[in-house]
Amino acid sequence: RITPYGHGEYLLSAIDITQQKQLEDMRRDFIANASHELRTPITVISGYLEALIDQADKKMIPPLEKIQSQTERMTQILEDLIVLARLESKELPIYPDIVDLAELLQEIHHDAKVLDDGRHEIILSADQASIEGSRSELQMAITNLVTNAIRYTPDGGTIRIFCHSLRDTIQVGVEDDGIGIPPEHISRLTERFYRVDSGRSREAGGTGLGLAIVKHVLDRHNAALHIESHPDEGSVFRCDFR
């Protein structure tokens, strides 16, 4: 850090952050290893559960199905934790790929409509634009935003997936007219497991990790996430690429 003081004089200070970096690496590796280790036993439990449900008498089916849905949740949480650990552990990449955003958004729009099954009106308005980046990471991030819009917008609502190509910025995002978010929560939404209403998130199949993944992918693309939201009016999640 260089701090100016006096006339034409500067103070140069340096701090050794080796230990802090080692601790961060340990935390990241621990989460990645624990998630990997847990994946196998959960896969085995799921397999046995399916077999049990096939053979169970009527009375046992509801509790077994409850166990099954919780097992699916655990699997989803582990998958998301593994994705996050991977995003964190990779060096900042230089992307050789040019991603055609209009084409990518068309695919995401199509998949969203299939997932949504007609519960919302999902609109796409995309300018022609492309950026250097990882297609698979961008697809994952934008899909997370669309999934959230579906999750937190009551049936009959409208969701718009957009891409605006401005002079020096490309804005990609998702707008909904759903439940919205009270202002005091907005700055914390990209923290892991941060949820405005955890009951609602769990019920809707959320893991609390979706926006943390979005934030990581955007950091790796030198892009910024902007969130605008009003309770009972809706939200806009916008990614700005420069």
Please pick, from the candidates 85, 99, 129, 152, the single residue that binds ligand ADP as defined by CB under 6 A: 152
Closer residue to ligand ADP (CB): 47 or 182: 182
Please pick, from the candidates 87, 138, 142, 181, the single residue that binds ligand ADP as defined by CB under 6 A: 181
Closer residue to ligand ADP (CB): 97 or 185: 185
The span from the CA of 151 to the CA of 176, in Å, is 10
The span from the CA of 143 to the CA of 112, in Å, is 8
Site for ligand ADP in 207-226 (CB under 6 A): 207-212
Site string for ligand ADP, 53-82 (x = CB under 6 A): ------------------------------
148 touches ligand ADP by CB under 6 A: yes
160 touches ligand ADP by CB under 6 A: no
Closer residue to ligand ADP (CB): 45 or 208: 208
Is the separation of the CB atoms in 134 and 97 below 8 Å?
A: yes
Per DSSP, the residues of 28-56 read: HHHHHHHHHHHHHHHHHHHHHHHHHHHH-
Say how many residues touch ligand ADP, by CB under 6 A.
Answer: 24
Closer residue to ligand ADP (CB): 133 or 210: 210
178 touches ligand ADP by CB under 6 A: yes
The span from the CA of 101 to the CA of 157, in Å, is 25
Please pick, from the candidates 85, 189, 217, 225, the single residue that binds ligand ADP as defined by CB under 6 A: 189
The position carrying tokens 């190509």 is 165
Site for ligand ADP in 86-145 (CB under 6 A): 144
| Nearest Cα residue to 103 out of 128, 138, 121 | 128
What minimum distance in Å lies between the beta carbon of 68 and ligand ADP? 20
The span from the CA of 178 to the CA of 1, in Å, is 45
The span from the CA of 150 to the CA of 223, in Å, is 24
What minimum distance in Å lies between the beta carbon of 203 and ligand ADP? 10
Please pick, from the candidates 129, 138, 141, 149, the single residue that binds ligand ADP as defined by CB under 6 A: 149
The position carrying tokens 């199905």 is 65
What minimum distance in Å lies between the beta carbon of 160 and ligand ADP? 12
| Burial environment of residue 165 by CB neighbours within 10 A (0 to 12, 13 to 18, 19 or more) | middle
- Tally of CB atoms within 10 A around 67: 14
Residues that bind ligand ADP (CB under 6 A): 144, 148-149, 151-152, 176, 178-181, 189, 194-197, 201, 206-212, 235
